[in-house]
Amino acid sequence: MKIKNYVRLVYVTLSKKLKDDVEVNYKSVNKGFIKIKIGNKCKLNKKIIFHELGHVYDAIYNNIFVYDLKLSRKQNLLCGLILNLSLDGRLEKMKLPHISKRERFLDLMRFMKIWNKKYKEKFTKKDLTKIFKKFWGKKIRSSKELLEIYEKIIKIKNRN
């Protein structure tokens, strides 16, 4: 991943509000720096740093600026899941620290519980396994492509 020509400075701060989550502000990428907020209950390690820098890479080279999309909570859940599968699979292929397939599959199971409680489309373990296999390491080339993937998944779920 070559982002050093774009990002010269990375600010990392702790946040009690985020708890076990991580938040990255990509808006300042064009100014040469990014801000990463780490929840105070989140373990900061190489996997997390490479993962978040992977999102920065996607923002720079693939024009994926999720914050510009103004996603609903529902869209954010599924799009975030797809992006994370894509990114960690690509990091794995590059032999860089990444969140493992097992960890990501457990994330999928947590996603399914949250999604199935809140929304009409019900995901099964079989559905998520298909999504996992399809998007692990898949290169997503733009925010537009990400939204198209989201729409396809929802349409398929609604037909079942």
Could you tell me the pTM of the whole model?
A: 0.85
* pLDDT mean over 15-23: 89
Looking at every residue in the chain, the average pLDDT score rounds to 87
**Is the confidence at residue 159, as pLDDT, over 70?**
no
Contacts 24+ apart (CB under 8 A), 91-98: 91/50, 91/51, 91/54, 92/137, 93/137, 94/1, 96/1, 96/50, 97/45, 97/46, 97/47, 97/49, 97/50, 98/47, 98/50, 98/51
**Is the confidence at residue 123, as pLDDT, over 70?**
yes
* pLDDT mean over 123-144: 92
**Is the confidence at residue 135, as pLDDT, over 90?**
yes
**Is the confidence at residue 57, as pLDDT, over 70?**
yes
- Return the top range by mean pLDDT from 17-26, 81-90, 149-158: 81-90
